[in-house]
């Protein structure tokens, strides 16, 4: 976790429910003002505008993205979830604007940070450290990371949660969902209630840094003996529900390997994809956040560093067995077997038009192309991602039948998608079939 230069400046996090509600209320008023102005302009030209066209504008999406980034916490996280899970249903320019929420957040100013640390560690906390860097090395939706060295010589990365995050989760999720509806950023007919319920559950888990610390230690144990990977060590004496202390590990962003020799890119992506299937089929425990920043690379050793276990998710055995059946049927080109497993998993639903079901099954079989070939799959030379996107857009006319899949499946899909994007960025060549077959 090396130093990074932040473009965003330090901004205090609004920590009370009232101040956060006021921010969202002001944003709703601003959007309403934009709409009123547009209505007046259209009427002056003798046009009768559609409300959807006035709400669903880049200007409104930009306002939403900027304000959620300022608020951080659950507000920013829900915006991230919407942009990732409903992104294919949004116009590309709007999806791109909301995707800004997945970049670095603003960070807390020192005065606010100091109050948080004093609350966590007591007034004499500075005496425990030889150095504590006040500028964060990273900032995200619910916390920021600082480098520090203790008096007893430990080099640490300290993740500090923004104040008020845990208390504001439930109200933030409801208020942001209403705001996104108002702004026209969620397509009509799409039931986001399961996603919002899951967002609340996930956020309460991610906001518990002691829980994340246990997941960090668990993963360290699971990959013990695998010298290709490195998980930071948990330092429990400095970890609280709002502060997570772990060993500092020097590394570069994994995507910088895009310019490395082909063999090294292939090796690293083979390791990461192998770990993904091991998490699903062997551990039944997965770090489900697909953010590239969760993987770093140590040039001196060639090791892959694994970070951020707040979104760790355990999968039930029957869920894993369903996925095993689905992939086994897919590799055997057994369309009936694929359909049966897809229905049980929740990809397909009863009452779905035959044309849509056929299109979704064809899309799933398309996604299996990398696993079906006996030779390494060349992510950099493939047009599969574009064909998948085109197939998804072709199903847009059946949008009223769109259903968000069960949450376990949604998180697994998200992780698969993030790994595919990383392999494409790295232009890696990976023998996927040889990785997955032993688990089937």
Residues 181, 257 within the same domain: no
Angle between helices 165-182 and 73-85 (to 10 degrees): 50
Q: Give residue 205's pLDDT.
A: 87
Rounded Cα distance, 273 and 435, in Å: 8
Query: Residue 107 pairs with which residues in a beta bridge?
Result: 10
264 shares its domain with 396: yes
pTM of the full predicted structure?
0.76
> Which pair of tokens denotes residue 105?
């957040």
In a domain, 8, yes or no: no
Among 214-218, 221-225, 369-373, 394-398, name the most confident range: 214-218
Summarize pLDDT for 405-432 with one digit per residue, the tens. 778 888 888 888 889 888 988 999 999 9
Question: Are residues 178 and 268 both part of a single domain?
Answer: no
Both 181 and 34 in one domain: the answer is yes
Please give the residue range of the domain that contains residue 80: 17-103+168-186
Q: Are residues 178 and 305 in the same domain?
A: no
Q: Which residues contact 55 (CB under 8 A, 6 or more apart)?
A: 31, 35, 182, 183, 184
The pLDDT, as a whole number, for residue 60 is 57
Instruction: Assess if residue 273 is contained within a domain.
Output: yes
Domain-located, residue 128: no
Q: Are residues 382 and 258 in the same domain?
A: yes
Dump pLDDT digits (tens) for 141-185: 678 899 999 999 999 999 999 888 787 777 767 766 666 665 555
Known catalytic residues are: 289
Q: Which tens digits make up the pLDDT trace of 226-276?
A: 899 999 999 999 999 999 999 999 999 898 999 999 999 999 999 999 999
Contact between 98 and 193 (Cβ < 8 Å): no
Q: Is residue 115 situated within a structural domain?
A: no
Give domain status of residue 236, yes or no.
no
Query: Does one domain contain both 399 and 309?
Result: yes
Task: Note whether residue 121 is domain-resident.
Answer: no
Q: Give yes or no: residues 435 and 321 share one domain.
A: yes
Could you give the number of structural domains in the chain? 2
Q: Do both 277 and 391 map to the same domain?
A: yes
Domain final residue, candidates 186, 212, 238? 186
Is the same domain home to 174 and 296? no
The last residue of one of the domains, among 186, 216, 241, is 186
Lowest mean pLDDT among 41-50, 55-64, 130-139: 41-50
- Has residue 284 been placed in a domain? yes
Judgement on whether residues 295 and 381 belong to the same structural domain of the protein = yes
- Of 21-35, 265-279, 342-356, least confident by mean pLDDT is 21-35
Domain boundary among 152, 186, 220: 186
The token pair that represents 67 in the structure block? 């304000």
Residue 180 is assigned to a structural domain of this protein:
yes
Shared domain check, 404 and 282 = yes
């Amino acid at each position: 976790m090396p130093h990074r230069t932040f473009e965003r400046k330090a901004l205090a996090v609004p920590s009370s429910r009232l101040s956060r509600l006021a921010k969202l209320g002001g944003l709703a008023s601003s959007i309403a003002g934009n709409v009123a102005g547009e209505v007046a302009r259209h009427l002056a030209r003798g046009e009768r505008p559609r409300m959807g066209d006035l709400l669903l504008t880049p200007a409104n999406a930009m306002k939403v993205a900027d304000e959620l980034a300022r608020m951080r916490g659950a507000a920013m996280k829900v915006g991230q979830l919407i942009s990732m899970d409903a992104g294919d249903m949004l116009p590309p320019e709007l999806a791109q604007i909301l995707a800004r929420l997945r970049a670095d957040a603003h960070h807390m100013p020192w005065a606010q940070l100091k109050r948080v640390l004093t609350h966590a560690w007591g007034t004499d906390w500075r005496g425990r450290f030889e150095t504590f860097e006040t500028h964060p090395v990273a900032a995200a939706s619910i916390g920021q990371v600082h480098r520090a060295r203790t008096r007893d010589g430990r080099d640490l990365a300290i993740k500090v949660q923004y104040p008020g995050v845990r208390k504001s989760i439930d109200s933030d999720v409801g208020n942001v969902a209403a705001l996104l509806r108002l702004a026209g950023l969620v397509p009509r007919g799409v039931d986001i209630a399961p996603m919002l319920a899951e967002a609340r559950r996930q956020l309460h888990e991610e906001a518990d840094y002691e829980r994340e610390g246990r997941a960090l230690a668990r993963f360290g144990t699971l990959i013990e003996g695998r010298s290709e990977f490195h998980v930071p060590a948990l330092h429990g004496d400095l970890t609280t529900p709002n502060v997570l202390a772990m060993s500092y590990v020097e590394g570069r962003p994994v995507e910088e390997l895009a310019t490395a020799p082909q063999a090294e890119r292939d090796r690293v992506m083979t390791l990461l994809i192998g770990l993904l299937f091991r998490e699903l089929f062997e551990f039944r425990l997965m770090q489900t956040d697909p953010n590239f920043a969760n993987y770093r690379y140590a040039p001196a050793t060639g090791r892959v560093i694994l970070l951020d276990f707040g979104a760790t998710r355990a999968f039930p055995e029957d869920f894993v067995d369903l996925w095993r059946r689905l992939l086994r049927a897919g590799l055997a080109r057994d369309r009936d077997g694929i359909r049966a497993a897809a229905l049980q998993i929740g990809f397909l639903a009863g009452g779905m038009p035959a044309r849509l079901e056929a299109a979704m099954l064809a899309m799933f079989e398309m996604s299996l192309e990398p696993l079906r070939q006996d030779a390494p799959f060349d992510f950099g030379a493939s047009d599969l991602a574009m064909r998948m996107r085109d197939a998804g857009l072709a199903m847009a006319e059946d949008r009223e039948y769109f259903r968000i899949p069960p949450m376990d499946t949604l998180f697994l899909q998200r992780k698969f998608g993030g790994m595919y994007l990383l392999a494409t960025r790295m232009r890696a060549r990976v023998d996927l079939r040889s990785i997955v077959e032993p688990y089937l």
